[in-house]
């Protein structure tokens, strides 16, 4: 494989990708598949989640490269993934925002994002939005991966209605790369004996909704998701979690490390991540015999939460 050809064909991405790969592991070039994740929380928790999703057991025997790329930069890896011919799963956030009228932006609170101009030869349009619940009428996404890569949609309504086919991109003829995106989707949330169909805008919100009773218990206060008082219904729970996680005092790394201190059997992997891992597992056709260690050799050690933490700290 001649990487010089790739760099010559993609001059706009060359310098960025060279710097990124020098700062991280280059196992991407030897991997069976790649998982591109939103941030540090996903990178810390994903190895444990892979262990917990029984339907994706083949991933435990595969060489998977996990790259932390962020929603704002994930789409910049598109050309490299396609050039390498990799199967890749992109795990990102819905990042719902309420559009802010021009002239009323708040630099400290609002998010600036780009939307491709309908006239392809014109520069992208810059917009600002304030973080909001996905249920907010007229909500957009500020996530550049979702806007510019897959599924190339701008409104939250369009994203929640996107089909599996729209979330997937593959080489013509089916003989090369396959890339699928997964992000938060509605699921049944039960709270105070009432069930509603809801979804979060981030991993933390989805985790709190899909593990509502467990996260709101006093014993899990260290996760940072426990709300004051008792939300009346699932909608109030979603609103409370959104305000808590969007607040400046919420520590995402502390949340991730807190989850790692708990037994994985006590909590559920968010539905959108589970669906994505199951798809990726189906794409990696490892022989069943590869999943079983040789009886004459000791089984490989399981990946512990401590090992994940140490690996993350070493980077």
Which tens digits make up the pLDDT trace of 7-21? 677 777 777 767 766
Can you give the pLDDT at residue 166? 98
For the entire predicted model, the pTM comes to 0.83
For 40, which DSSP code?
H
Above pLDDT 70, what percent of the chain? Answer: 82
Check: CB of residue 196 under 8 Å from CB of residue 189: yes
Question: How many Å apart are CA 134 and CA 294, to the nearest integer?
Answer: 48
pLDDT of 173 over the 80 cut: no
**Residue range 258-289, pLDDT digits in tens:** 999 999 999 999 999 999 999 999 998 654 33
- In this structure, are strands 96-99 and 140-141 parallel, antiparallel, or unpaired? antiparallel
């Amino acid at each position: 494989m001649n990487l010089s050809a790739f760099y010559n064909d993609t001059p706009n991405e060359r310098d960025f990708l060279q710097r990124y790969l020098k700062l991280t592991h280059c196992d991407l070039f030897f991997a069976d598949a790649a998982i591109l994740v939103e941030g540090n929380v996903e990178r810390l928790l994903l190895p444990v989640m892979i262990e917990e999703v029984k339907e994706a057991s083949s991933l435990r025997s595969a060489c998977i490269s996990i790259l932390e790329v962020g929603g704002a930069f994930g789409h910049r890896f598109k050309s490299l993934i396609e050039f390498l011919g990799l199967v890749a799963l992109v795990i990102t956030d819905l990042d719902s925002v309420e559009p802010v009228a021009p002239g009323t932006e708040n630099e400290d609170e609002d998010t600036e994002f780009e939307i491709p101009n309908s006239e392809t030869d014109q520069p992208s349009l810059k917009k600002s939005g304030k973080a909001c619940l996905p249920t907010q009428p007229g909500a957009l996404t500020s996530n550049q991966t979702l806007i510019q890569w897959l599924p190339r949609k701008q409104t939250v309504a369009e994203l929640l209605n996107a089909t599996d086919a729209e979330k997937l991109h593959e080489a013509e003829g089916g003989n090369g790369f396959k890339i699928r995106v997964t992000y938060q989707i509605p699921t049944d949330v039960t709270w105070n004996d009432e069930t509603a169909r809801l979804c979060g805008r981030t991993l933390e919100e989805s985790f709190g909704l899909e593990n509502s009773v467990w996260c709101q218990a006093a014993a899990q206060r260290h996760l940072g998701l426990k709300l004051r008082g008792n939300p009346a219904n699932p909608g109030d729970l979603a609103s409370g979690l959104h305000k808590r996680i969007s607040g400046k005092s919420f520590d995402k790394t502390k949340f991730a490390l807190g989850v790692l201190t708990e037994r994985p059997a006590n909590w559920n992997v968010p539905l959108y991540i589970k669906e994505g891992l199951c798809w990726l597992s189906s794409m990696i056709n490892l022989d069943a015999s590869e999943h079983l260690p040789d009886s004459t050799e000791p089984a490989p050690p399981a990946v512990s939460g401590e090992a994940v933490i140490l690996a993350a700290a070493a980077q």
